[in-house]
Structure 1
């Protein structure tokens, strides 16, 4: 078999600052031939590098009992009748001792290296090849090049090298420090992954922390900085005092008979060719007070040694002196013990043979879904001695900051709940962690229009949704306010539709001509009759609160702004999160009772472009162009995110990563639903539209609560009683559906305050859920949609004055009666209804249902019914009041 080597020759430049290379293939005794690398693509990127130092060689759980089955041990430092005891502790990574100058620059070479003190330069070699990687590859793209730290903390090569293109694979290997003559890189003719030959210097101050890195196979057109993950290739050896060490002077420590030479293979991450058993000493003259974990060696006096299983004759020798016994030399046999790669071995010298074994582990939470939630993580942190005594060991947590590339005590904002320390009482404990719902993004044309709309209002002067052009004049209040742009908004703290054209709209809540038990002379708030449109005059508001919304972070910063004249509620709609959606805001008293609530509808539709429709009696109604609360179909994408958390207990540390998954959700066209006589909407369906195959029928639209957590559960249901108590419960519990079919089972004039059970003049009541200027339609508003005279059964076939629109899933009706040839038609989508007993969407979700303001009797009301199969339209049917239907408002 012939093995071919690659020799790199520079070729001519064909692009500015671009180096090309020629590969020469050859073998011994053969004539060489040339085969040029393809020129880099014109827009390929220059090679550069980023560095990060990993604390571990594996992703296994980090524990203070050691790695790879290593256990903390105790042995005797023998000399005379008063021996000292040597406790051997394994720490998962090479790290500076607790309390050391971890963030300061390295003063001497022996100090272990961390991210913030990474070498200013490292050696890197690059391999470009086709086919599969094998051990015949040579560093043919460049060899032993110097990558130096730049001003933006990336690492740049002295010469410009570019990604060679998609026809090639790439691998990179790097090591540091490259200027230490005791660490020698294999030659450019070395096939396969490079090696580093190491001879440990006898002087500890020259024993530098050896870092190595190697990439997986990368595509030659990656065109972004190469992320190099450096790992510690040596073993750090430290010395500390035990908690019962006697006072004295530790004069000298010596590691005897340990391997001092070896070869590290960057491909296999293994040490081979260990030899040259030598001794390494340090004269310390360290005066010891006997304090627990008092450092004997400083950071700069850390031994950096070749990882190994210690050979025959390996010993630790300690020269110790105190006043009572003078100087004595103590030794301990180290044969057969292990110095694992990339870890710290701490020798704790003590006058006691009790061996404390430290246990530290962290079990992270399962990955969060995009909509957040609460999960558990567990921390075990304690020490145990030979007598079986367990003591908790305190721990703390830090969070990785991607901007500063450092650990910080500040957790990301999306982690709403996280315990950052513990271990003072329990040795093992589970903790709750809450992740906020991820903020989605979409490119829907309606969302784009909303984002591009001019900003309204300021935080100190919000846009008044009830006033003319956002001011305080000629106010018209409502139970539903429409937002069409990003900004800061407010509305006055008054009951529903109780102010009209700047005046007290008494007729919305008081009808003195009402007679009989089926009519309310004065409409009700949460506790009694309404005697003033100002809520603060009849109740004691305490705070405003977002009850929920059907788009994440649609509305934020909800506030109650108290004022002696007229208080307000304000909120923010941010440009980054605006989209079509619905939200409910409530005002509460100090006892958390809801005094009133409002529907905020965000839409970019021009609601003033009404559609004039003639009914059978040739009366015209100007219908809103869309259904109340309407949202067009959209696809929302939620990006994945994560946070690395490092837990530390003494010298032991462990990292976990908290992940939140990505997701993509498609909503079809949708709208909220209303029980008859109530002012507050209930959760929409997720809609369905035949242009979106991902949308399924009859599911709930996702709803985000006041804490940002989301759900697709049905609304709560409860029997809210009848008569006056029922109406008060409607106010107190706007999110709860009335489960009794007949609902209040009493009043005719809940939406039309003048309605006495007979047709007449229609006057919008304080409970009407429509925006200012609109109201729920009269009972005869839909009669022009069929030719047949009203009956209690739907019309079919040729009697219907319209056609089923499959693309928009609804009925289109002619707007002029009795003509069937108008170009203009009006669409009524069919999106089902909600069942009052379960709160769920109806099984026959292919029909459409639209309330009128007129009761048919005390337990039911008139509505428009639509169905595609069999073809049916009922312009004035009767249905139980508690069923939640759609509303298509008309001009007052």
Structure 2
């Protein structure tokens, strides 16, 4: 060891020459030397505050995190009755919190506190020994130590006695003015102190102690880490004005009477503070402790701390470290029952005396709030909500005033805080604000007798819906596989045919198949004969030139050869006359390659039922429309409309008509394809209710106010196209005159026969309309297309202008709507004017203004008289019955009903920006839009 030490300390050049002299001083080197130990291994402490560390860990604190051994009962509050004959109707409200004035507590319970930030000099004492179980030798006592843990007079560790334990007392125990008498440790027993409370509160000190526990000097010349975690040994007492105090007096003195002012405290032997305790057996000295010349008015703000007003005039100070006014009582923990009273004396000579109950616990803060039993304060909080802001605005300004008023008219500000939010008009509440409410300029405030201007910051959720719609379609989970095609007539895509239609909505890439069934001829997995065989009796009318008596009911719907249909399956009707269908085609498509037919597009299952198969590729999928047809040889036998749109296009919106009847319309017009659509992600104004609550109230009843913040929905543009339909046909026609990426539309002649409509799904049959607006005699429309029940199987009645039809529609195989929907009766539109009449007052949400109408390219109708929900109808224009050309797109809207007006006309709803015709009529060969309603 001798040589090692010298080699460490001296240059190698002198090692040999110093050997003898090194031996001669070996005892000094290995034991105590003139520097009291090893140079460089100086005793130093890492100083911490156990309470401060517990408070800064974050999250909810558990009971005892600061002060060991506390129970819930120790922290229970209570109301303490006064004694005296002053008739002041007062009491003291007692509350206790863990920790000595812990910073995390509410502002009303805070006062100045000693932490490592403002700790000053303290006393430290050390004992040491040769082993962990033999730390029994005194080392140093009550040495003055800096708050950073270094001793004013350095002391070094000894390698011969490498185990130590250290004790600390704040404030300095050798300073007689601090009321501390120190008794040194005896090796196994911890030291103790006798502490005397100063009877003048302003001279009192906050007593804190610490113990390092056992520490080993393990690496020579390197001082071990030595921690001291200070813990509070006293109880902090603070007085405050309670929330119900409404009279005007001035506090002069506050006295705690007959309190134990001297007692013995034994320090812990452990770093965690375990075992420290007060011993009351040797000291029973009691006296009064007074905070004098307070000069504090009782009409301060509720919960305000009794403090030095000359230094701290603001009653809303929330940082206790800023109240260095020495108004905290630091008291020895003790039992109070039948011993201790509190006396509050006012400047007018009146006083109250309150017997205190329970006990004060070390390391806690007790607050006594002077309060009235029955308050005469009136509490008020008022919120002034902002006007609705535009969709592209981010600021909404509102106001809150919060105060209380005494009978004499005195007003005081009352603090408030935000407690909850609701986005469903107050039905449910949560503590989490909606994502679009980015922030509030204040979520709590001290309140005021004047309205406080505040600001809500909102998000602007503006979306390109065309891009979003297309991406949503492409990113949807693919359906079907090359070996197992997804059956569009089955809700799950399984092979069984459940419900068929002339239109299927496709919302994802995949492999699909459609059963070769006439329209809705299969429903609920069974033959739906009522879709192609009518139960209506013959109904004869005279019309034509020369006038002929004709039955306007088509009793058995016909196929592509004008033969009555006898079976839902195309290949099985008429005894299987059309079996062996061998081909399919994309008749037209308004986007490139939406549909790719399989190489062998006709598939037959084990029962011989035929399906047409096709693929929809992700890269080609976007909002649009296509018509596919099946054929035998070159003859088309039937066709289907494929609408590429999100699933929610078929969500139902309930509309109440003028007669009080409800119709469930689809969310979108059939075949709608948006071409420009930029606006908010929400279609109706979004609203959040913000509930604010006063932090105090009369007898605990806290007043609340509601602020309603609304951000309107908005558009920069919405336009698109819909598919068009000639009345009574199942065939869809594109919403553009531009050249189509696939297929084409042909201007047909007037020969609109039943079978021609099926054989030529891309022929738009025209009508010879004369200059005077009448139809030419012998026109094909009158001769071949005069039936009343083409879209409503059992209908034999005619509608008319301003004559709503309330008959139920029975969907037919010529109906163009998807599964579960049909073309509505004309009465479904009667609620779109407030009186149900053509050109009546429009029931629209702002689109009667042309700029708004143009922005939307159509009308936004209210769905009912309460005007709480809307439905959008695009002004898609029409295909002209004379020449097949699209007219008035984005200007006029025209929507077919299932009702005929006569043998040439159908009932229709039409509108422009300034007029709505819910019950109008027009020639059947016009191409109008269709808005499906749910089947009844």
TM-score when scaled to structure 2?
A: 0.40
- Higher normalized helix content (fraction of residues): 2
Larger CA Rg, structure 1 vs 2: 2
- Higher normalized strand content (fraction of residues): 1
TM-score when scaled to structure 1?
A: 0.42
